[in-house]
Amino acid sequence: MSMKLYVGNLPHQITEEQIRTLFAEAGSVASVKIITDRMTGQPRGFGFVEMETKAEGQRAISMLNGQTLEGRTLTVNEARPQKKTGYGGGGGRGRGYR
- Distance in angstroms (rounded) separating the CA atoms of residues 63 and 5: 13
| pLDDT above 90 for 35 | yes
Asked if 22 and 69 touch (Cβ cutoff 8 Å), the reply is: yes
Domain of 8, in residue numbers: 3-47+56-72
pTM greater than 0.85 (yes/no): no
- pLDDT per residue as tens digits for the range 68-88: 999 999 999 999 987 776 665
CATH classification at residue 68: 3.30.70.330
Domain count, the chain: 1
Helix (H, G, I), strand (E, B) or coil at 66: coil
Asked if 60 and 76 touch (Cβ cutoff 8 Å), the reply is: yes
Q: Is residue 7 part of a domain?
A: yes
Higher pLDDT, 4 or 88: 4
Task: Spell out the residues 6+ positions from residue 32 whose beta carbon is closer than 8 angstroms to its own.
Answer: 16, 17, 19, 20, 23, 47, 48, 49, 50
Q: Is residue 86 part of a domain?
A: no
